[in-house]
Amino acid sequence: MRTRGVCPQCGHDGILAGLAADAVRQPICLSCAGIPGDFTCRDCGTEADFYRRATCSRCALRQDLTALIIDGAQHRDVMAPIVEALCRVDRPASILTWKRSPRVQELLTGLANGNIPLTHAGLDAAGTDKAVNHLRSMLEHAGVLAVRDEPLAWFERWLSVKLAAVTEPTVRGPVEQFATWHHLRRLRQASVPGQDSAPAVRYAKQEITEAIKFLTWLDSTHHRTLATCLQQDVDEWLVSGPTTR
């Protein structure tokens, strides 16, 4: 019922649910295969496998999404493109299954009532779980949101948390400058939407982590800062630990 095309026997353009009785066994239409029943969707008029009550899965999805995020929405005109984008997918039944999740419904209604701004920052604030990431990717693919460099976005969040955990000013100051003006600046300059920046992000995270470890060790072991660090401190640090140093 999901096979569509032009019937080789009668030229009908629609569902090719049967198989010809010849040696080739080509897919043929319902009528030529002798399959009874009318499978015309009552909403869109397209011949399709029904999802419910003489309605195809695409129309059923449109009905459900309209009720969920357009009816009563704060800005109906903002939500309409989301519905259109989701209804254009190749397999609307997969979206029907996806949206049954309470977490997905929470996100969609949050977008509809304005509690979640329709921006990357709004989705970031909503969480970092799979449901958020999947919704973001669908909105990007549909053109509702601009495509962004996800590894870079993850790095920015990671850096904020990492720096917040460093309480010693003589450690945090130099590391923040190193992370922001050396690594973050270069990552942003090199960022191209759709291009994989994950290797560069992993490298930056490792260097920043090791810098924090070194300055913390320097302070606790020798009571020195980056400004008063000696060459022998660097040598001792390098030879007394793993190669990641």
Q: Residue 210: its pLDDT value, please?
A: 96
Residues of the chain with pLDDT under 50: none
Residue 45 lies in a domain: no
Tokens matching residue 112: 């509809």
Number of domains in the chain: 3
Residue 203 lies in a domain: yes
Q: Residue 31: its pLDDT value, please?
A: 92
Same domain flag for 127 and 176:
no
In 3D space, the residue among 225, 222, 226 whose CA is nearest the CA of residue 240 turns out to be: 222
CA 129, CA 150: separation in Å to the nearest integer? 14
Residue 92 lies in a domain: yes
Residue 196 lies in a domain: yes
In 3D space, the residue among 59, 57, 84 whose CA is nearest the CA of residue 2 turns out to be: 57
Q: Residue 187: its pLDDT value, please?
A: 94
Entry pTM: 0.67
Q: Residue 57: its pLDDT value, please?
A: 93
Same domain flag for 134 and 194:
no
What is the domain range of residue 229? 150-239
Residue 105 lies in a domain: yes
